[in-house]
């Protein structure tokens, strides 16, 4: 109510000569007064919807409840039921006061074309300047008075007809002006608001003696009689008058406020609940919090709100509560059923995944399919058809299932990410693959040996892929390309994210190949010469010496655009071949750790989309911080201390040339 009073003062100040609110009592019954303006005439200062709810619902409830209480009082008087008469007195005071105060409130509002919103002028402006100093000072004092009201109430600018001065007065929400108002209307109340009682005037007459009890000789004062000024009230009296409205609504036993109008009088600030505070006498609203606010808005408005949302968000909004489901009707579901909204339909169905443990969400179709290999799902090479459910789009090249490339000829479909993550998310093994280690594989292709391993950490699937191949020393650039790149798609043989062309990943691998130790030449007498030199210098030659990498290729690298980390090493590895004596050779080892996301969806999971290059703006250093994916992964398999590795950016220059770059090839 405080906000509405402030709004009314901004938009409805009138001259002091304006007429007061007419009484709306007809033959003992109160009626709802008609407004002199439309509900939307005060916009944008006051919403038309608020005005309509406040007048037609809130004020009408006061009128109806007052009339009901009057009829019950008449019946109690006819039956001489004293207890009912006493019980009805607070109700009549409450509803009658609310009706009178609201009637005056409507008369103090005016649209802009009728003078509303303009500063006061004439006698009212002069009185405000004389009493408060300025209009701004008056507004500040009015706001201060409103802020000091306990619970809810009213603040009015009233005039003392005796002295002509004006002042700000506050009253309780259920107080109809004051308790001494007779049935002469609100105008009579304001004409007597600050007038001294006639009994005090009589007592101060010169011809009256305080020693006599006969008042028959007392004459009635006229307006021309001189009345001495009232003495200043005592501090205790001022204190009592200040807090009397508050204590009148306080429970003497519990100390709690008995004011039921706080919610309705805050309608301008908090909600649009159509329930009146008069309903507090009948029972509480059992609906969940926020439901009355939702129900108060029309169906067309909610449909207009959904026009600004995506189809998936609109469906989520309809699923929020039963009231919204009824308000929106079939509109969100019709949008989701369109063919062009297939991705949005899949995004919405992700939230229903917990209700279908024996199904998997198919993203090309945008619907759930029954699992046909429940409990026996295995990860197969990319060239092997491995259906986990019967999908009509299984061979549709226009809508391929989402997958992530592991290495050349190997990929992990997104369905396996779902199967690995769902058991930990829904706390049941029937949702997928309980142990993600069963997805681990070893394979060999194009002279490269690969090993993959998976774990689930905090609902995210982490993957490590280690790729190894033997490298001859002193390889020229062309031989390095043949060793590192596949001629089928010109991707590296080892595991790499979608951003491998940007940055230093391939130059790091080529630099590591240049650090493979070169064997001694033994043609002619060179072998004998080398052994003689070793003998003279007391040096023992090791044909399998360890390779030492430089500062460019030794540190671990992290892709700045996705959660992937790389480590390139040159190790001595035992070469085992059938029919050939086992020996140790230098091999290049590329290890990749990555986060494949939480399985919510190819578009909703930022990590999956970043690893596949489907989104921009992913900053792995900002999101991961000092946490290393490799450290989390390796800590899951060993209790020993892992030596710390310096992790730097794979693309320190920040240039993203992609196919246009030259260093990557």
Q: What is the pLDDT of residues 56-80, one digit of tens each?
A: 888 888 888 888 888 888 888 888 8
Does the residue 384 lie in any domain?
no
What is the share, in percent, of the chain residues with pLDDT greater than 70?
A: 75
Helix (H, G, I), strand (E, B) or coil at 187: helix
Q: Is the N-terminal amide bond of 44 cis, ω within 30° of 0?
A: yes
Stretch among 265-269, 360-364, 517-521 having the lowest mean pLDDT: 265-269
d(CA 298, CA 295): 7
Please report which residue ranges of 24-163 form alpha helices under DSSP H: 48-52, 60-78, 82-107, 122-132, 135-147
Strand-strand pairing, 153-159 and 166-172 = antiparallel
For the segment 180-194, the average pLDDT, to the nearest whole number, is 35
Query: What is the rounded (10 degree) CA torsion for 400, 402, 406, 407?
Result: 10
Res 349 pLDDT > 70: yes
CB 653 within 8 A of CB 663: no
Judge if 318 and 188 occupy the same domain: no
Please give the C-alpha separations between residue 469 and each of 172, 446, 665, in angstroms, as whole numbers: 87, 9, 19
Res 521 pLDDT > 50: yes
The CA angle 281-285-286, to the nearest 5 degrees, is 135
Stretch among 146-150, 166-170, 519-523 having the lowest mean pLDDT: 519-523
pLDDT at 454: 95
Q: Residue 136 sits in which domain range?
A: 2-209+231-281
Judge if 322 and 423 occupy the same domain: no
For the segment 286-306, the average pLDDT, to the nearest whole number, is 81
Structure tokens at 272: 């649009």
Judge if 160 and 273 occupy the same domain: yes
Does the residue 621 lie in any domain?
yes
Judge if 173 and 256 occupy the same domain: yes
Judge if 173 and 308 occupy the same domain: no
pLDDT at 258: 59
Judge if 254 and 315 occupy the same domain: no
- Kindly report the average pLDDT of the chain as a whole number: 78
Does the residue 502 lie in any domain?
yes
Helix (H, G, I), strand (E, B) or coil at 314: helix
Judge if 252 and 191 occupy the same domain: yes
pLDDT band at 217; cut points 50, 70, 90: very low
Res 263 pLDDT > 70: no
What DSSP character marks residue 229?
A: P
Structure tokens at 375: 């409990």
Does the residue 120 lie in any domain?
yes
For the segment 346-352, the average pLDDT, to the nearest whole number, is 91
Judge if 91 and 188 occupy the same domain: yes
pLDDT at 271: 43
Question: Which of 499, 477, 481, 479 lies closest to 490, judged by CA?
Answer: 481
Judge if 243 and 322 occupy the same domain: no
pLDDT at 415: 93
d(CA 615, CA 597): 14
The CA angle 57-63-65, to the nearest 5 degrees, is 95
Judge if 328 and 461 occupy the same domain: no
Judge if 327 and 258 occupy the same domain: no
CB 311 within 8 A of CB 339: no
Judge if 310 and 445 occupy the same domain: no
Res 511 pLDDT > 90: yes
Please give the C-alpha separations between residue 641 and each of 234, 590, 637, 661, in angstroms, as whole numbers: 81, 22, 11, 39
Does the residue 253 lie in any domain?
yes
pLDDT band at 17; cut points 50, 70, 90: very low
Does the residue 218 lie in any domain?
no
Does the residue 357 lie in any domain?
no
Q: What is the pLDDT of residues 109-137, one digit of tens each?
A: 888 888 777 888 888 888 888 888 888 88
Stretch among 51-55, 233-237, 330-334 having the lowest mean pLDDT: 233-237
Structure tokens at 413: 């479909």
Question: Which of 106, 12, 117 lies closest to 52, judged by CA?
Answer: 106
Res 227 pLDDT > 70: no
Number of structural domains found in the chain: 3
Please report which residue ranges of 204-281 form alpha helices under DSSP H: 235-248, 262-265
Structure tokens at 229: 């000024």
Structure tokens at 340: 């062009």
For the segment 540-567, the average pLDDT, to the nearest whole number, is 86
d(CA 469, CA 98): 88
d(CA 269, CA 2): 9
Does the residue 217 lie in any domain?
no
């Amino acid at each position: 109510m405080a906000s509405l009073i402030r709004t009314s003062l901004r938009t409805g100040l009138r001259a002091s000569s304006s007429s007061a609110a007419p009484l709306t009592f007809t033959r003992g019954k109160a009626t709802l007064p008609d407004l002199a303006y439309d509900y939307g005439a005060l916009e944008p200062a006051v919403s038309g919807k608020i005005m309509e709810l406040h007048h037609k619902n809130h004020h009408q409830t006061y009128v109806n409840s007052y009339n009901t209480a009057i009829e019950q009082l008449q019946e109690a008087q006819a039956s001489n039921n004293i207890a009912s008469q006493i019980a009805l007195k607070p109700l009549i005071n409450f509803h009658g006061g609310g009706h009178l105060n609201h009637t005056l409130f409507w008369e103090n509002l005016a649209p802009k074309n009728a003078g509303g919103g303009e500063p006061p002028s004439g006698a009212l402006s002069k009185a405000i300047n004389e009493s408060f100093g300025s209009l701004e000072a008056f507004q500040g004092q009015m706001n201060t008075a409103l802020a000091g009201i306990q619970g809810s109430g009213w603040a009015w600018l009233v005039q003392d007809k005796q002295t002509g001065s004006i002042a700000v007065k506050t009253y309780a929400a259920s107080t109809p002006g004051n308790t001494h108002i007779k049935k002469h209307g609100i105008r009579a109340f304001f004409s007597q608001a600050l007038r001294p009682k006639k009994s005090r005037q009589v007592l101060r007459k010169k011809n009256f003696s305080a020693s006599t009890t006969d008042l028959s000789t007392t004459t009635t004062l006229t307006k021309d009689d001189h009345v001495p000024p009232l003495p200043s009230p005592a501090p205790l009296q001022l204190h009592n008058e200040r807090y009397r409205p508050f204590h009148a609504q306080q429970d003497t036993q519990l100390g709690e406020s008995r004011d039921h109008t706080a919610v309705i009088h805050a309608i301008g600030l908090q909600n649009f609940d159509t329930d009146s505070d008069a309903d507090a006498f009948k029972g509480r609203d059992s609906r969940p919090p926020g439901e009355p606010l939702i129900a108060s808005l029309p169906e067309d408005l909610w449909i207009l709100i959904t026009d600004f949302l995506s189809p998936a968000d609109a469906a989520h909004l309809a699923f929020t509560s039963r009231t919204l489901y009824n308000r929106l009707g079939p509109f969100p579901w019709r949008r989701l059923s369109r063919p062009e909204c297939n991705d949005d339909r899949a995004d919405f169905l992700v939230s229903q995944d917990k209700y279908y443990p024996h199904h998997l969400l198919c993203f090309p179709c945008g619907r759930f399919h029954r699992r046909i290999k429940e409990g026996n799902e295995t990860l197969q090479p990319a060239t092997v058809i491995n259906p986990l459910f019967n999908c009509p789009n299984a061979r549709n090249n226009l809508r391929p299932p989402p997958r992530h490339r592991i290495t050349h000829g190997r990929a992990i479909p997104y369905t396996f990410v779902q199967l690995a993550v769902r058991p930990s998310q829904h706390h049941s093994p029937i949702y997928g693959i309980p142990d993600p280690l069963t997805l681990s594989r070893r394979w060999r292709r194009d002279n490269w040996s690969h090993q993959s391993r998976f774990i689930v950490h905090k609902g995210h699937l982490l993957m490590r892929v280690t790729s190894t191949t033997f490298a001859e020393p002193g390889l020229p650039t062309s031989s390095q390309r043949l060793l590192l790149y596949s001629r089928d798609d010109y991707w590296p043989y080892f595991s790499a994210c979608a951003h491998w062309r940007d940055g230093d990943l391939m130059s790091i691998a080529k630099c590591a190949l240049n650090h493979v130790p070169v064997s001694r030449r033994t043609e002619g007498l060179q072998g004998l010469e080398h052994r003689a030199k070793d003998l003279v210098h007391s040096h023992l030659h090791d044909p399998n010496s360890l390779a030492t990498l430089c500062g460019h290729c030794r540190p671990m690298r992290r892709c700045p655009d996705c959660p992937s980390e790389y480590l390139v090493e040159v190790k001595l590895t035992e070469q085992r071949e059938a029919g050939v004596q086992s020996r140790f050779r230098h091999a290049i080892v590329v290890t990749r750790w990555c986060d494949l996301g939480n399985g919510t969806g190819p578009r909703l999971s930022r990590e999956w989309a970043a690893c596949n290059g489907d989104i921009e703006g992913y900053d792995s250093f900002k999101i991961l911080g000092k946490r290393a994916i490799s450290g989390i992964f390796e800590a899951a398999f060993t209790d020993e201390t892992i030596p710390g590795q310096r992790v730097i950016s794979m693309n320190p220059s920040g240039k993203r040339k992609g196919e246009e770059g030259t260093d990557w090839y």
